[in-house]
Amino acid sequence: MNLLDFQKFPKPPKPILRGVSHLLACLCAIVGGCLLVKIAPSPKAIIAAIIYSTSLILLFAMSSLYHLPTWSTKQRQWLRKLDHAAIFFLIAGSTTPFAMIALHKNGNSLLWLIWIGSAIGFFQSLFWAHAPKKVSVVIYILLGWAAIIYCPEFYKSIGFIGFLFLLAGGVAYSVGAFIYAMKWPNPFPKVFGYHEIFHAMVIVAAVSHYILIFKIIKSCQTCI
C-alpha cells in the first residue's frame, strides 16, 4: 500500500461529544464574565475582570468552533493554530487579576513574565504549529506554573482557602495536559475519549480559578 492509497481512507469520526462541553462552558463564561465586570468595584478591578473574562470566553469559543463542526483540512489547520494560541491568552488572562490585585510587591514583574512568555507561546502556536505535542504541553505547564515563584506572597494575600482553589486549578490544568499528551485514558473513543476528559479538566480548572478571581475582584474596594 502506497501513500496515495492510504490517503483514500477516511479519517475516523470524532467522538460524539467532541467540543460540546466547551460550547456550554463558553455560554457560562459569557454570563460569568459579565457578572464579574458588573461586581468589580474599581477601575483597576474592571480592567482585570475584562482581560480575564475575554481570555476565558475566547478559549472556550475557539475550542468549540474548532472541535464541533467538520472542517476542511486547510480550515482545520488554521483553527487548530488559533485554538492552541488561545490557551496562552488564557494563561496570561487568568494571571492578570492575581498580578494586578493580589500581589502588591511583585505584581508588575509577574505581569511582564507571563505576558511575554504567553506572547512567545502564542506566536509559536501560529508559526510552529507542528511542534511535537509533548513540547507544547511542557510549554503550557511551565508557563502556567511560573507564578509559583511568588507562592509566599500569594498565600499571604489570598489565604489558605484561596490558595487551595489556586492550587486545585493548576493541578487540574496539569492533569488535563498530561492526559492530552499521553492520549490516555481513552474510555469511549466514539463518544467520550481522552480529548473529552482533557476538556473536562480544563473546565474544572477554569471554575476553580473563576471562584477565586471572583472573590479577588469583589474585594478590590481600595484598588486604584
Calpha distance 157→27 (Å, rounded): 31
41: cis peptide before it, omega within 30°? no
3-state secondary structure of 19: coil
Which residues on adjacent β-strands are paired with residue 188?
Answer: 192
What is the pTM (predicted TM-score) of this model?
Answer: 0.92
> What is the per-residue pLDDT across 157-166, written as a single tens digit (0 to 9) for each?
999 999 999 9
> What is the per-residue pLDDT across 84-115, written as a single tens digit (0 to 9) for each?
999 999 999 999 999 999 998 899 999 999 99
Calpha distance 69→125 (Å, rounded): 21
